[in-house]
């Protein structure tokens, strides 16, 4: 990004003026109307001097780290520091697994290049040979600045794999968990027709995967059921949804109760449908 920035800094003053900034965005494949360009330009021009410094560009981009990205970065630091306030930079260098980096695995980059980039980037955040939690987050904030929202799972994979962390160690942020639930509900809603409600649809789908017929499903069956309706989430996200509804933490999900939750939620969207509840019947408060 710095290389491109310098390329369009035609007068060499270390900043991009409006026309230079427009050409810079065009090179990146971002084409804006005049009004949009003005709004974006003003957003990046933090000190309002009519120019965009490279530091302003990066500062604006790096501050927009999602809750799920920040969560995984903080967990990685806790995993590496074992609760200590700082980690020796040399320890980080030794533990960093460059060959496991997603771009190395995809043969898009050499492990040596990735490792060198890491040493330079993380080294710039070290103080007195140590990296604090803030410095660790700052390093990933720099990476965040060039990874758009659609690269969310790539960002998580990058952190997990290079630090040899397992998906089961990852906690899903509350905001992301709510988003996943919305996606699941929408997929269920799309498959609900006629006089059925969302609860009946869920029960029918999950019952198909209840091999023993006990009215419960395990995490593996739960994953298969969600994948059937088009919810292809990461393993740790599947696990987070399952654990939320596994009330007694016995590794089994009572899909009757799970269905009731969907029926109750769906009743607010379709007041003509009377949700079918399980053993403990509740009136449809939203409809009333």
Mean pLDDT of 141-154: 80
256 pLDDT exceeds 80? no
Please report which confidence band the pLDDT of residue 177 belongs to, taking 50, 70 and 90 as the band edges.
Answer: confident
- Cα–Cα distances in angstroms (integers) from residue 166 to residues 10, 113, 116, 140, 251, in the given order: 47, 24, 24, 19, 19
What is the gyration radius of the CA atoms in the chain, in angstroms? 24
% the chain with pLDDT above 70? 88
Give residue 230's region: left, alpha or beta (phi > 0; psi -120 to 50): left
User: Which of the 8 DSSP states describes residue 87?
Assistant: E
Please report which confidence band the pLDDT of residue 285 belongs to, taking 50, 70 and 90 as the band edges.
Answer: low
70-110 tens-digit pLDDT: 888 988 998 899 889 999 999 999 999 999 999 999 999 99
Please report which confidence band the pLDDT of residue 63 belongs to, taking 50, 70 and 90 as the band edges.
Answer: low
125, 139 Cβ separation under 8 angstroms:
yes
Quickly name the fold that domain 174-267 has: Recoverin; domain 1 (1.10.238)
The 3-state secondary structure of 51-72 reads CEEHHHHHHHHHCCCCHHHHHH
Q: Which CATH class is domain 2-62?
A: mainly alpha
Whether the domain at 2-62 and the domain at 67-169 fall into the same CATH topology: yes
67 pLDDT exceeds 80? no
Distance, CA of 171 to CA of 75 (rounded, Å): 8
List Cβ neighbours of 125 (8 Å cut-off, separation of 6 or more).
131, 135, 136, 138, 139
Strand partners, 132: 86
For residues 267 and 175, the model is more confident at: 175
168 pLDDT exceeds 60? no
| Residue-level pLDDT at 171 | 65
Q: Kindly report the pTM of this predicted structure.
A: 0.52
What average pLDDT is seen over the chain? 83
List Cβ neighbours of 193 (8 Å cut-off, separation of 6 or more).
none
* H helix count then E strand count, the chain: 15, 6
Mean pLDDT of 209-227: 83
20, 55 Cβ separation under 8 angstroms:
no
Distance, CA of 206 to CA of 258 (rounded, Å): 10
Please report which confidence band the pLDDT of residue 271 belongs to, taking 50, 70 and 90 as the band edges.
Answer: very low
Q: Domain ranges for the chain, please list them.
A: 2-62, 67-169, 174-267
Quickly name the fold that domain 67-169 has: Recoverin; domain 1 (1.10.238)
**Token match 């699941």: residue?**
184
230 pLDDT exceeds 70? yes
- Using DSSP, state whether 155 is helix, strand or coil: helix
Mean pLDDT of 119-138: 93
| Residue-level pLDDT at 231 | 87
């Amino acid at each position: 990004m710095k290389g491109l920035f310098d390329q369009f800094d035609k007068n060499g003053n270390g900043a991009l003026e409006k026309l230079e900034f427009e050409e810079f965005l065009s090179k990146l494949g971002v084409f804006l109307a005049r009004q949009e360009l003005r709004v974006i330009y003003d957003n990046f021009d933090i000190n309002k001097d009519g120019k965009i410094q490279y530091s302003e560009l990066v500062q604006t981009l790096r501050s927009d780290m999602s809750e799920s990205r920040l969560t995984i970065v903080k967990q990685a630091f806790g995993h590496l520091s074992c609760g200590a306030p700082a980690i020796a930079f040399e320890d980080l260098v030794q533990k960093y697994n460059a060959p496991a980096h997603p771009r190395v695995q995809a043969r898009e980059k050499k492990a040596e290049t990735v490792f060198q980039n890491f040493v330079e980037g993380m080294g710039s955040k070290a103080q007195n040979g140590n990296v604090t939690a803030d410095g660790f987050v700052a390093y990933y904030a720099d990476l965040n600045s060039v990874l758009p929202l659609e690269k969310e799972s790539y960002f998580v994979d990058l952190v997990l794999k290079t630090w040899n962390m397992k998906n089961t160690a990852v906690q899903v942020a509350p905001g992301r968990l709510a988003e996943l639930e919305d996606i699941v509900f929408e997929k269920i809603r799309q498959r609900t027709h006629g006089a059925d409600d969302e609860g009946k649809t869920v029960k029918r789908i999950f019952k198909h995967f209840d091999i023993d017929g006990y009215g419960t499903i395990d995490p593996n069956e739960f994953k298969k059921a969600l994948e059937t309706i088009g919810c292809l989430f990461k393993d740790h996200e599947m696990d987070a949804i399952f654990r939320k509804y596994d009330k007694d933490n016995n590794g089994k999900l009572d899909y009757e109760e799970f269905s009731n939750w969907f029926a109750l939620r769906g009743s607010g969207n379709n007041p003509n449908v009377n949700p079918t509840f399980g053993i403990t019947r509740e009136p449809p408060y939203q409809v009333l």
